[in-house]
Amino acid sequence: MKKILIVFGTRPEAIKMAPLIKTLQEYPDIFELKVCITAQHREMLDQVLEIFDITADYDLDIMKPNQDLYDITSQILLKLKDILKEFKPDLVLVHGDTTTTFSASLAAFYQKIDIAHVEAGLRTGEIYAPFPEEINRKLTASLAKYHFAPTTTAKNNLLTEGIDKNNIIVTGNSVIDALFLMIKQIESNQQLKSSIIHNLSKQLGFNPQSLNSKLILVTGHRRENFGQGLLDICSALKQIAINYPNIKIIYPLHLNPNVYKPVNQILQDIDNIHLIQPLDYPEFIYLMEKSHIILTDSGGIQEEAPSLGKPVLVMRDTTERPEALKAGTVKLVGTDTNRIYTSIKELLDNQQLYDKMTTAQNPYGDGHTCQKIVNFLKVTL
Question: Looking at residue 209, what is its pLDDT?
Answer: 85
Query: Does residue 41 surpass a pLDDT of 80?
Result: no
Where along the chain do its domains lie? 2-173+366-380, 192-358
Of 49, 365, 10, the residue nearest 222 (C-alpha):
10
Alpha helix stretches (DSSP H) within the chain: 11-24, 43-51, 69-87, 99-110, 133-143, 152-160, 174-188, 190-204, 228-243, 257-267, 281-290, 300-304, 322-327, 337-349, 351-358, 369-380
| CB neighbour list of residue 162: distance below 8 Å, 6 or more residues apart | none
pLDDT per residue over 169-225, tens digit each?
999 999 999 999 999 989 999 999 999 999 999 999 998 888 888 999 999 877 777
Residue 156: band (very low, low, confident or very high) from pLDDT cuts 50, 70, 90: very high
Read off the pLDDT of each residue in 66-88 and give the average, rounded to a whole number: 95
pLDDT for 113 equals 98
The pTM (predicted TM-score) of the whole model is 0.85
Q: Can you tell me the mean pLDDT for 326-330?
A: 90
- How distant is the alpha carbon of residue 315 from its chain centre? 15
Confidence of residue 122 (pLDDT cuts 50, 70, 90): very high
Range 221-238 average pLDDT: 85
Is it true that 2-173+366-380 and 192-358 share their CATH fold?
yes
Confidence band of 258 (pLDDT split at 50, 70, 90): confident
Architecture of the structural domain at 2-173+366-380: 3-Layer(aba) Sandwich (3.40)
Q: Which of 51-55, 64-68, 138-142, 365-369 has the lowest mean pLDDT?
A: 64-68
pLDDT attached to residue 377: 97
Residues designated as active site: 97, 119, 133, 221, 223, 254
Asked whether the beta carbons of 218 and 296 are under 8 A apart, the reply is yes
What contacts 349, CB < 8 A, 6 or more positions away?
none
For the ranges 89-103, 230-244, 292-306, 327-341, the lowest mean pLDDT is seen at 292-306
Which CATH number is 192-358's, of 3.40.50.2000, 3.40.630.20, 3.40.50.300, 2.20.28.160?
Answer: 3.40.50.2000
